[in-house]
Every structure is written in C-alpha cells, then in structure tokens.
Amino acid sequence: MSLRYQINLRILISSLCILLLGSSIAIWQARDAVNKEIDSSINLAVQLITFGFSQASQTPFNETEWLPKFNSLNQTRHLSIQLKEPSGRIIGFAHKNPQTNNDEQPPQWFINLVGADYPKVEHKITSFTGEQMTLIIQANPLDEITEVWHESLGFFSSLFLLTLFTFLAVNLAFNKALKSIAVIVDALKVIETGQYRQKLPDFSIQEYDNIAKAINHMTGELNASQQENRALTQHTLAIQEDERQRLSQELHDELGQSLTAIKVMAVTAGRSQGGTMRSQAGAMGTRPTDSIIDICDHLMTVVRSMMHQLHPLVLTELGLKATMEDLLNHWTLRNPELKLTIDCPDEVDGLEQKITIQIFRIVQECLTNIVRHAEASQATISLEIEHQPKALRLQVADDGQGCAIDRIKTGFGLLGMRERINSLGGVFTIQTQPQQGMSIIATIPLP
C-alpha cells in the first residue's frame, strides 16, 4: 500500500468520523433548538393573548378580528391557535404567512429525527364579554425544522469543502516528498543492478537530502571497490594469459622441436639401416623406428591440442575472426553432430588484445557448456560492433533443452564469464526457457 493511499485513506476515515460526530451533534442541537423555539413561542403566545384579553375591559375588541392578526405575526408562525367557546364550537384561524415550498422542505427522515410529539396546550381565558373560553395552541415546527435543515446543509457543505480542501492540501504538501521518494527508489533499482556510478540529486527537504547523501557515499565506496576488483581481475586474467602464452610458446619451441628432431632421426636411422632392420622386422613384425615415429606423431598432436587450449597462437598472429573460425572447426571435428555457425565482421580484428582474449575464452566456455549440458543440434555465435553507443555485442545461442531462468545453477563457468565481462565494464545477461534453448549475451563498451 503506497504512502499516498495510506494518507488519503486516513484522511477519509477521519473525515467520516468527524462527519458522523458532527451529524450527531448537529441533529441534537437542532432538536434542542426546535424544542426551545416551540416552547418559547407557546409561552409568548399564551402571555400575549392573556394580556390582550385582560386589557379587553379598557379597550373592547372582537376576538374573531384580533386573534387572526395575532396569528399572522412572525413570532407565532410555528403555532396553530384556536379558540374553544363554552358551547364547544372551535374557532380556527389560518396562518397568514406563506407556507413553505415543498421543494424547500427537508426530507422526512430529517423531520423524524429533529421533530418531536408536541402536545396541545390549553389555557383558560376570559373574553371582554365575560365568557370563559379555552385557548388551544398546537405546535407546527415545520418552518423551524426547515431553517435547521438549511443550516445543517450549510454545515455539511462546509465540512465537505473542508475535507476536499484537506485532501488537496495534503496531496500538494506530500507531492514533492512523494516525488523525492520515487526518485530515490528508482535510483536504488539502478544501483541494485550494479551500476554504482548512479548518483542521487540534492533535495530541498533536509531528511531526503541526508538519505541521498548517505546513499551517494555508499555507492561511491561500492564503485571504488568495484573498480579495484575489476582492476585486480584484469591483472589476474592478464597474468594467467601471459603464463598460458609462455607455456604454449615453450611447448612449441622446446617440446615440439625436440619431438620433430626425434622423428627426423628415427626416419634417417630407418633408411640407413634398411636391410638390417627389414631382416629383424621380419622376425619382430615391425621396425623400432616406425614405433618411434608413431609415438612422435601422437605426442605432437597432444602438444598442438595443449597449445591451442593454453593460448591460440593464431589469435596473436591472425586476429579474432580467424581464431573464432579455427575454434569452431576444432569443435566441429570433435562433435560432428553439432552444427556450428558464426557471424563475425572483419572489424573485430582491430579490437584491443585484452578484449579479444576474453571474448575467445567466453566463447570457448559457452561451447563447452553446450556440448556437455545443452543437448543441442545447432549453435550460433554472433559478434557485432554497435556504433551508437560504440560497443561490442556477443551472442551465443543454441536450440538445446534450456531451463527456467530461476533454475540456472550458478556454476563456476557462468561466474567466470560474468566476471570477465564485468572486468571490461560490460553487461552479461542470460535468456532461456524450457525446451527453447539458451542465449548468452554480452555487451562490452568500446573506447
């Protein structure tokens, strides 16, 4: 759940609680106000009518003319006033004020909540003629409830606008902070891939700026350690390749020449002692010189294979493209059931030696894995030099059994390939699906 969602949800819940509490208080106050208004109007009406009738002896008036005028007063708009004569006849007076428009009336549920059961109030009065009459007052609080309804609408509208304003204010206030969090999270995702040169910008909020500085310091230290490790790896690989090249050269110069000399001497000895050797060969079956020649040929084949594995001399003499083609011919002879193809431009021969030797080792390891584990019928090696930005892209793909990407065993072969690419500042990725083969892609930046 995002921070923005949590904040908005809590504001909404708080607003609903405030709305519920405010509604309860508003209805209670409205009910109390209506009751007080009705009681006050009834008391006022009783006092005024009683006072009027008490003054009737000094200024006689007809109640049928006076009371309708009194009933039309604004103070008595909540009341229905009637007179009950001693004979039992009830005199009613219609309220002269305009009735409330039905469109302006509050809903029935509000009337039920605010209104109450108001009993009739009966009061004995004496008319100016001396008759005992009964004053009947019945409360009709609809006008007052309508006023309270409009006040409540104003209250709830204000609360709604306040809630909306709070939403907007909080979102505006947190928008910048949330954007800063998004920038930090995106940067951490990049750093997670090993790109420790990623730096966070400065933030105007002090807390986020402190976090950014701490992360930048951490990535700076990690980047320095990474550069040191890459330099150490390059140095180790360079020493290893130099040693392999020296051993290969020693095998070529010393052991190879010695075997060639032994073979030449055996051939010469066989020719000079042909008669004697033939008579002895008839008894022994073969000539000793022939055995020596066979052993020398076998040892020379083994030496050539060791020299090729240690360091291909053709890589130094003819370049990467010829070395790759020679490597594929070598693997094709040993594995005729595997169809190998290569797509390599002539431009690769101009690459630095530290790059070419690593590319050769990676392809060599890939072919070894394909033969041992992939059960593939064909494999393709592609080398391409990209120019925007300038980089070397290597892809080795096969049609073997593949596997789920999360089930790839991180063996030393894959770790070694990844480390070789990382030492050159490149990116190493693996793409594979069950029964859909595997593709190893390496991208190396070029100067």
Residue 163 CA: distances (Å) to CA of 21, 24, 151: 14, 18, 18
> 141, 31, 30: which is closest to 76 by C-alpha?
141
Q: Show the beta-strand stretches assigned E in 107-222.
A: 121-126, 132-139
Question: Is the Cα dihedral 26, 30, 31, 36 positive or negative?
Answer: positive
* Proportion of the chain above pLDDT 90, given as a percent: 9
Interval 149-174 mean pLDDT: 79
The sign of the torsion formed by the CA atoms of 218, 221, 225, 228 equals positive
Using CA atoms, how far apart are residues 233 and 36, in angstroms rounded to an integer? 92
CA 150 to CA 34: how far, in whole Å? 13
Amino acid identity for residue 255 in this structure:
L
End-to-end CA distance of the chain: 45
Q: How many CB atoms lie within 10 A of CB 362?
A: 21
Angle between helices 3-54 and 142-192 (to 10 degrees): 170
Residue with the larger pLDDT of the pair 274 and 446: 446
Residue 429 has pLDDT above 60, yes or no: yes
Q: Which residue has the higher pLDDT, 96 or 303?
A: 303
According to the model, what pLDDT value does residue 97 have?
45
CA distance 187 to 201: 10
How would you write 218-231 as a 3-class SS string?
HHHHHHHHHHHHHH
Strands 339-343 and 378-387: parallel
63 vs 408, which has greater pLDDT?
408
What is the C-alpha to C-alpha distance for residues 416 and 444, in angstroms, rounded to an integer?
A: 16
Tell me if residue 131 falls in helix, strand or coil.
Answer: coil
Spatial CB neighbours of 159, under 8 Å, sequence gap ≥ 6? 15, 18, 19, 22
- pLDDT tens readout for residues 170-180: 777 777 777 88
Crossing angle between the packed helical segments 288-310 and 206-250, to the nearest 10 degrees:
160
Q: How would you classify residue 129: left for phi > 0, otherwise alpha for psi between -120 and 50, otherwise beta?
A: alpha
Average pLDDT taken over every residue of the chain: 76
| Each residue's pLDDT tens digit, 34-61 | 777 777 776 766 666 666 555 555 544 4
Name which of 138, 143, 133 is nearest 84 in CA terms. 133
Q: Where is average pLDDT lowest: 7-16, 267-276, 311-320, 389-398?
A: 267-276
**Residue 98 vs residue 331, higher pLDDT:** 331
Residue 40, amino acid: S
Q: What is the mean pLDDT of residues 69-98?
A: 60
Q: What is the pLDDT of residues 369-417, one digit of tens each?
A: 899 888 899 999 999 998 888 999 999 999 988 887 777 765 667 878 8
Using a cut of 0.85, tell me whether the model's pTM lies above it.
Answer: no
Q: How far is CA 280 from CA 64, 208, 266, in A?
A: 168, 95, 16
Domains, the chain, in order of start with CATH, read 3-93+107-168 (no CATH), 314-447 (3.30.565.10)
CA 334, CA 329: separation in Å to the nearest integer? 9
pLDDT at 395: 95
CA 141 to CA 99: how far, in whole Å?
12
